[in-house]
């Protein structure tokens, strides 16, 4: 994935960091460096997003989590979460 995003050992990102350990890319991207990968990953369909949210909810509940937080959500993601809450489909609290 890093190759597809054009990330190599010399890649620099303003407002971000690409973690290198012992001269090798680790795959850890911090802050704005995530934008390099985000732009090459296609958006999931609505059905795929719903399936992923419900799967995450199941995992969270199995581990005793009732509330999650994600400050990096897009408007479309927030709208979908709100819609699923209103319809009673998503019960996991999502702080935005």
Tell me the torsion sign for CA atoms 66, 64, 28, 41. negative
Nearest Cα neighbor of 15 from 2, 40, 33 is 33
For range 22-34, the mean pLDDT: 96
Q: Is residue 10 very low, low, confident or very high in pLDDT (cuts 50, 70, 90)? A: very high
Summarised one tens digit per residue, pLDDT across range 50-86 is 999 999 999 999 999 999 998 888 899 999 999 999 9
Instruction: Return the CA Rg of the chain.
Output: 17
**Residue ranges of the domains in the chain?**
1-41, 46-95
Angle, nearest 10°, between helix axes 75-86 and 46-62? 70
- Chain mean position to CA 5: 16
Q: State the average pLDDT over residues 36-44.
A: 92
Q: Considering the entire predicted model, what is its pTM?
A: 0.70
pLDDT number for residue 88: 96
């Amino acid at each position: 994935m890093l190759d597809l995003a054009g990330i190599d050992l010399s890649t620099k990102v303003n407002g971000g960091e690409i973690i290198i350990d012992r001269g090798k890319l680790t795959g850890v991207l911090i802050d704005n460096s995530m934008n390099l990968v985000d732009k090459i990953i296609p958006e999931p369909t609505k059905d795929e997003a719903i399936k992923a949210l419900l799967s995450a909810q199941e995992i969270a509940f199995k581990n005793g989590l009732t509330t999650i937080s994600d400050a990096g959500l897009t408007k479309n993601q927030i709208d979908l979460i709100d819609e699923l809450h209103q319809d009673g489909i998503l019960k996991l609290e999502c702080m935005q």
